[in-house]
Chains A and B, each alone.
Chain A
């Protein structure tokens, strides 16, 4: 079976007492339930069912400071507490494994190499909100992850970690592996719920929020793979332990997907607050710039986050520090590009993506991304006109904050930041009808 050849820092994680997501990911046996259990797997799930109250589970996760790793960084415990206690309806827990934000390839590593960790986290979250049917929504292209998760689920049922009357506690919990159809927007939680319901993957208006009215109009919690995989460790080792990792406000460890022009692209687990410059240059991580070229810029948190210039990369990778630099931690996808990269070409790739993935429900996003793509393609092709940049800014302004879901904002933010930080290069492109530097990246 397929096993992703991606580089990880599992060796460091195995020795560092605070890192926990990547501890065992270089051992293919970790996928098997016996190995997982022999290393303390399903211990937290047992402890919870043995007599930790739902309120205490939520309180512990709240105190740990864990924030959503899917992009928005919303406090996980707080989100769980929004599920109404007195609702007579069923409740659902959905693990978001759509992983489609360009640059992001971290959740798949856990699915491929430590799938039971996700199941255990999902189970504990389900219990906390009193859910008896939980889903994992995996992007359809990830055939290898789907197989691993299905196998792990089967094992978990066989060994009594899932099913009826788990560990004799009287608690029942079923699981469904649901797979997508190749649409980025289905990572957005309300579109994802529509997709599970068998509808087109379009976003829903909020309110109502999913915690009140989500899947099948029942209270639903959607959490990212990485957020859920951290939960068993928080139960086992305590909220204080988790909160002691990271920075004052950004707690815990985080996975970063490093891609682009570095020597060692890969997935790395580090405490929040780890320095971005070290991530790129340290031999144990990015190992420096590919072919010794000069750095031109970094997208720190996935395709929808604003750029950082080379003089801005001495920054802590955490929610607050990146915000201070007018960017975002996002999904933790760090995309690095060198001096040979034309910024207009980068934006052309990004806007093409967002236009293609717009679900079409609201006009500013559907039409706006189309206009932006046309204008940007024109500039890139050397047919830019004076006034184009102002026009692009105007269209961006008319999308930002005026759409049903955040995809509209996601499309606009990197463009606005590229126009701000690399203005001269855009102007050069219009004046000279060609790139300042040509992005001719040859296949090696």
Chain B
């Protein structure tokens, strides 16, 4: 099993509240994504056993939802909102800055597997633009200095 005891327990705890089993698919995918960083066939099979829903139905739902990466990504998934409110506040230039700094293009992962840089649609941070979501965390009201120190901090983090 890839899913830990803790994740399994969490999925089960969420699943019991729903009147219909299938409703636990999204909650289960969310728990799995938070633990593993992505979801795929192997995960679908494990979830299927836990919530007693056919693997196919889990895969069918999962492939619709873009928030769950379907392949492993870098340790830090940098999700830059590039919709209109952020773009008016310089998100295009922030992406260019990150591309330079990390020496990758949008959509790519650094060689050391630390960072994956992607552009995403509006994350509801419009009045605190521009922003980056790093894995689960929002970083808002960004400027060049904050972006630089954010990346440096992540690089320095040891875990």
Contacts and interface: CB of A to CB of B under 8 A. Distances in A.
A250 interface: no
Interface stretch (A2-10, A25-33, A237-245, A385-393): A2-10
A179 B30 CA distance: 8
B89 A441 contact: yes
A285 to B, nearest CB: 12
A141 B128 contact: no
A196 B122 CA distance: 22
Contact of B124 (A100, A195, A350, A440): A100
A181 B126 contact: no
A260 B23 contact: no
Contact of A5 (B82, B94, B128): B128
Contact of A141 (B18, B67, B87): B67
A353 B124 CA distance: 14
B41 interface: no
Contacts of B85: 102-103, 259-260, 335
A346 B90 contact: no
A444 B144 contact: yes
A441 B136 CA distance: 27
B68 A335 contact: no
B126 A105 contact: yes
Given A102-B84, A176-B18, A181-B64, A443 B26 contact: no
Interface in B19-69: 19-27, 29-30, 53, 57, 60-68
B155 interface: no
* Chain A: number of interface residues, binned into ranges: 35 or more
A2 B137 contact: yes
B147 A104 contact: no
Contact of A257 (B30, B120, B126): B126
- Of listed B25, B26, B83, B84, residue having the most chain A CB within 10 A: B84
Contacts of B29: 181
Contact of A443 (B60, B66, B130): B130
B137 A346 contact: no
A335 B66 contact: no
Given A104-B124, A335-B126, A443-B147, A197 B83 contact: no
Given A337-B88, A442-B90, A443-B97, A103 B20 contact: no
Nearest to B98: A443
Interface stretch (A51-59, A76-84, A198-206, A425-433): A198-206
A104 B84 CA distance: 11
B133 interface: yes
B61 A200 contact: yes
B93 A443 contact: yes
Interface stretch (A14-22, A261-269, A315-323): A261-269
A180 interface: yes
B53 to A, nearest CB: 7
A350 B85 CA distance: 10
B17 interface: yes
Interface in A94-137: 99-105, 108, 133
Nearest to A137: B26
B127 A6 contact: yes
B99 interface: no
A259 B94 contact: no
A378 interface: no
B88 A198 contact: no
Contacts of A261: 88
A141 B124 contact: yes
Interface string A125-154: 000000001000001111110000000000
A176 B24 CA distance: 11
A259 B88 contact: yes
B108 interface: no
Contacts of A350: 84
Interface string B140-159: 11111001000000000000
Contacts of A356: 121
B23 A196 contact: yes
A441 B67 contact: no
A333 interface: yes
A168 B88 CA distance: 53
Nearest to B26: A181
A178 B127 contact: no
B68 to A, nearest CB: 6
A182 interface: yes
B124 A179 contact: no
B137 A105 contact: no
Interface of A: 2, 4-7, 90, 99-105, 108, 133, 139-144, 174, 176, 178-184, 195-202, 216, 257-261, 265-267, 299, 303, 333, 335, 337, 341, 346, 349-350, 353, 356-357, 439-444
Closest 9 CB pairs of A and B: A181-B65, A182-B67, A198-B22, A198-B25, A259-B126, A200-B64, A259-B85, A443-B90, A102-B122
Given A198-B25, A259-B126, A443-B143, 15 more contacts: A2-B138, A105-B127, A144-B138, A180-B26, A182-B120, A197-B20, A216-B20, A259-B89, A265-B129, A346-B84, A356-B121, A439-B87, A441-B89, A443-B91, A444-B144
